[in-house]
Amino acid sequence: MCSVRRLVATNLTTVVTTYLNTLVTNTHLPLPKTGVEPRV
């Protein structure tokens, strides 16, 4: 199923992008870690 594969790829890309954005934000803004929930 091409649609399923595309959906998985989109999900993976979203997760990786969110993780990278969180990493960059944590690197540039030294805030105390208050758990695993990212504040948006």
**H or E, element range at 28:** helix 2-28
How far apart CA 34 and CA 32 sit, in angstroms, is: 6
pTM value is 0.48
Instruction: Look up tokens 């969110």; give the residue.
Output: 18
Average predicted confidence (pLDDT) for the chain? 76
As a whole number, mean pLDDT of residues 30-37 equals 56
As a whole number, mean pLDDT of residues 13-38 equals 73
CB 36 within 8 A of CB 19: no
pLDDT at 35 over 70: no
Residue 22's pLDDT is what? 85
